[in-house]
């Protein structure tokens, strides 16, 4: 999630067939059926949520490692979802947040939620590639770029200091 900005339900609904050598093809999300049970849905949260996220070398390594883990746990040729909860169930926001809380408590650091990974992805992306804010908006599937820029990006203190130090104002 921190490498793609994907929502936990989108990550939890990924199958091996959703990934090729160049892209993660986001096509569905975890949802609830009429009885309230969680299942892999037929669609994404919104129609525009269907998208292709380019793979970089880091993502390729993470996905390779996950496939290898799935093969060890579930057997060769695993065709279920790529990411599961610690109990082997569908990956849901609750189970991810529970694990984050457990790890933060053990590490004695402030707690956060899995949505923090999406915010961190957006912040790091815009820090490194501010000229590509439109690309970020498309990766996060926001119809309005103002949502991306106002809600999902944070200005880091050191970046403000560097920006002020780099500022040149000519007076004549």
Residue 85: how many other CB atoms lie within 10 Å: 15
Q: What is the pLDDT of residues 133-144, one digit of tens each?
A: 899 999 999 888
Q: What is the dihedral of CA 162, 125, 138, 114, to 10 degrees?
A: -120
- Could you tell me if 120 and 127 are in contact, meaning their C-beta atoms sit under 8 angstroms apart? no
The confidence score (pLDDT) of residue 161 equals 83
Domain ranges of the chain: 8-166
pLDDT value at residue 172: 64
Candidate CATH numbers 1.10.1040.10, 1.10.443.10, 3.40.47.10, 3.20.20.20; the one for domain 8-166: 1.10.443.10
- Show the low-confidence residues of the chain (pLDDT under 50): none
Distance, CA of 53 to CA of 30 (rounded, Å): 18
Global pTM value: 0.83
């Amino acid at each position: 999630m921190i490498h793609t900005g994907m929502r936990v339900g989108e990550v939890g609904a990924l199958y091996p067939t959703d990934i090729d050598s160049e892209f993660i093809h986001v096509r569905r999300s975890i949802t609830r059926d009429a009885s309230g049970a969680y299942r892999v849905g037929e669609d994404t949260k919104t129609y525009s949520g269907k998208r292709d996220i380019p793979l970089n070398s880091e993502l390729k390594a993470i996905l390779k490692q996950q496939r290898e883990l799935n093969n060890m746990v579930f057997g060769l040729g695993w065709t279920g979802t790529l990411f599961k909860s610690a109990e082997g169930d569908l990956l849901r926001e609750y189970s991810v947040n529970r694990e984050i809380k457990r790890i933060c408590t053990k590490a004695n650091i402030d707690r956060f939620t899995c949505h923090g990974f999406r915010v961190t992805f957006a912040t790091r992306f815009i820090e490194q590639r501010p000229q590509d804010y439109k690309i970020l908006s498309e990766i996060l599937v926001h119809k309005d770029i103002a949502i991306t820029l106002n809600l999902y990006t944070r200005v880091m203190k050191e970046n403000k200091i560097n920006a002020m130090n780099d500022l040149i104002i000519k007076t004549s």
